[in-house]
Amino acid sequence: MDSDALTSSQPSYPKSRILLFLLIAVSGFAADLWTKHWVFDWLGMPPGQTYWIWEGYVGIQTALNPGALFGMGAEIRWIFPILSILAAVGIVFWLFAAGAAKDLYLTGALSSVTGGIFGNLYDRLGLWHAPNQPDQWHNEVRDWILFSYGEHVWPNFNIADCLLVCGACLLVWRSFHDTASDSASAKPASGGS
């Protein structure tokens, strides 16, 4: 087989996208793990005290989530690590084997999602130990950011959740942006005849 044919069949994207992907995913993952470790060492295991940054609105409070979004699916928690690994493999394939890394926004969004996936996967696999309980195994996701308004309390979340949501929002924005640009380019240019 001709080496030129082999090279032309491979997706082309700037090699700096690999560096960007790793930078966002790894730094997001590291920030998530560090903040969880710090907060749980500081406030302890739930139920712990609440430290208010803005009294009644924004606080820090430790919580454990055995399920997925809002604690749903706690009874089938074994499936979430499998889905997380499949999603991460799919993202890497889509970006670098299928060539989606050509798009800077897509690379940034999927990098953020990957950092979030690995942050929560780390917890789900039980790779962390509770402060003062080094022999006790936990496989719940550690959450610590608290939002409330009066009697309404948003379920606690963490940096990994923020990465997942920001990446998903960027994906949605990009899909609308692509749709708008595709429909604009599909319209024939109007001109006089």
Angle at 16 between CA 24 and CA 177, to 5 degrees: 70
Beta bridge partners of 148: 153
Element containing residue 143 per DSSP (H, E): strand 141-149
Annotated catalytic residue within 4, 41, 123, 143: 143
Kindly state the DSSP code that residue 131 receives in the 8-state scheme. Answer: T
Rama region for 9: left / alpha / beta (φ>0; ψ in -120 to 50; rest): alpha
**CA-wise closest residue to 106 among 9, 24, 8:** 24
Annotated catalytic residue within 32, 103, 135, 161: 161
Q: How many Å is the Cα radius of gyration of the chain?
A: 21
Q: Is 143 a catalytic residue?
A: yes
Alpha-carbon gap, residue 21 to 104, rounded angstroms: 10
What the block records as the tokens of 90 is 């799919």
Are 29 and 113 in contact by the 8 Å Cβ rule? The answer is: no
**Active site (catalytic) residues:** 143, 161
